[in-house]
Amino acid sequence: MRNKKTYLVITPFFPSKYCFVGSFIYDQLNEIRSQTDFNIEIVKVVSIFNNHEDYTYDDFKINHFKVFDLPFFIFPGLFNTFNKLRFSRFLNLRSVTDVKYIHSHVTYPSAYISEDLNCKKIIQHHGLDVLQLKNCRFKFLRRFQKKYLSYNSIKTLNKFDLQIGVSNLTLSKLRNFKTYVKSQEYVLYNGVNTKKFYKIKNHNNNVFTVGCVANFWKIKDQISLIKAIEHLSYTGYNIKLRLIGTGNMLKNCKGYVKSNKLNNFIIFENEMPHLQLNKFYNQIDLFVLPSVYEALGCVYLESWATNTPFIGIKGQGISEILKEKIEMLANPHDYKNLANKITYFIENDEDIIFPDKYDIKNTIKSFLALDFFKNNA
């Protein structure tokens, strides 16, 4: 009987019963599991100061590997030789053997600790800051950190056989580094599990409802969306905005809404479990994420899967998919232009059909059909 090939996944993100962060990686792996006979092993990389225990999630066993390093992302990888030795021992103790493929998510620490393992290696980049140059909390260190990371991280990434980006834009950021040696590259758009996200039924509501799900960070630019809705309210439209998320800009956004007496039609809601988002998308008329630094955005595609129209920002990863749909792309930081785009959907009942090619069954099928996975018995 032929032994199964081990597909080792190393990631800082994976959902648990307490937190849904990393649901897109779970969906990816669940589909790989359904389409192959791989023995899938998952290692979740965490800080040495983390006290989380190993756990099981939908029959996936998640083992934690604690990375020894300085806190606050100060010169990450400084102790990488030590961590790589520890990681090899970690795998041996858990009998993770016969590894044919490693699929690492995010450059540090996943790629760092797996760079020298003898197998086919994949690294998947989920954000535009592919080397995590903005992660250091101390601005005075960032200039030195940039040189340090640019050298070490590119040297590490050059050891990988396949570079995956969630958009072409993501991979273009990698190519900007002169020492990067282009290997095999592949764009794996974040496919949608259409068993989770689908159209339920049309809701009857006299109020045109706009929704947004995102962390309240400056780059997500919810304030432009708030101003666009404010602008539309003055023109007589019966409109409502539902904002879901947390983050350091939430207080500012709430302050603006309160100061301008917009509370009657702009609502802030608590984060909700990922599985409840399908109901949310079906309750709104339009989804808007005005993010100005977005590799792709799973939420756009999730909304699309429910046949709910959406608006993104020009020049971001989602633009690759919406090349001819100019009504679905607004100018960055331009609330009046965004208001005009929203007006289009208020006045036009446009049916937005989700393309099958972005169903996760099909994105993963195409991924597994790569020559990369052939002739490696």
111 neighbors 87 (Cβ within 8 angstroms): no
Structure tokens at 341: 């785009």
What's the burial of 353, exposed, middle or buried (CB within 10 Å: 0-12/13-18/19+)? exposed
What local confidence, expressed as pLDDT, does residue 205 receive? 73
Structure tokens at 209: 């409802």
Backbone angles phi, psi at 57, to 5 degrees: -135, 110
What local confidence, expressed as pLDDT, does residue 140 receive? 85
Structure tokens at 178: 């002169």
Backbone angles phi, psi at 108, to 5 degrees: -115, 135
Short-list 307, 57, 326, CA closest to 192: 307
pTM: 0.94
What local confidence, expressed as pLDDT, does residue 24 receive? 95
What local confidence, expressed as pLDDT, does residue 22 receive? 94
How far are the Cα atoms of 124, 162, 276, 329, 341 from residue 165, in angstroms, in the given order? 6, 10, 27, 21, 28
Q: Which amino acid is at 157?
A: L
Short-list 302, 135, 136, 138, CA closest to 214: 302
Q: Please report the domains of the chain, with CATH numbers, ordered by start residue.
A: 6-191+359-373 (3.40.50.2000), 208-356 (3.40.50.2000)
Q: Maximum Cα–Cα distance for the chain, whole Å? A: 71
What local confidence, expressed as pLDDT, does residue 2 receive? 55
Q: What is the pLDDT along the chain (377 residues), one digit of tens a residue?
A: 457 899 999 999 999 988 889 999 999 999 999 999 999 999 999 999 999 899 999 999 999 999 999 999 999 999 999 999 999 999 999 999 899 999 999 999 999 999 999 999 999 999 999 999 999 888 888 889 999 999 999 999 999 999 999 999 999 999 999 999 988 999 999 999 999 999 997 666 789 999 999 999 999 999 999 999 999 999 989 999 999 999 999 999 999 999 999 999 999 999 888 889 999 999 999 999 999 999 999 999 999 999 999 999 999 999 999 976 889 999 999 999 999 999 999 999 887 899 999 999 999 999 999 999 986 54
What local confidence, expressed as pLDDT, does residue 376 receive? 53
What local confidence, expressed as pLDDT, does residue 328 receive? 95
What local confidence, expressed as pLDDT, does residue 197 receive? 97
CA 188 to chain centre: 12
> How far apart are alpha carbons 90 and 84 in whole angstroms?
10
CA 173 to chain centre: 16
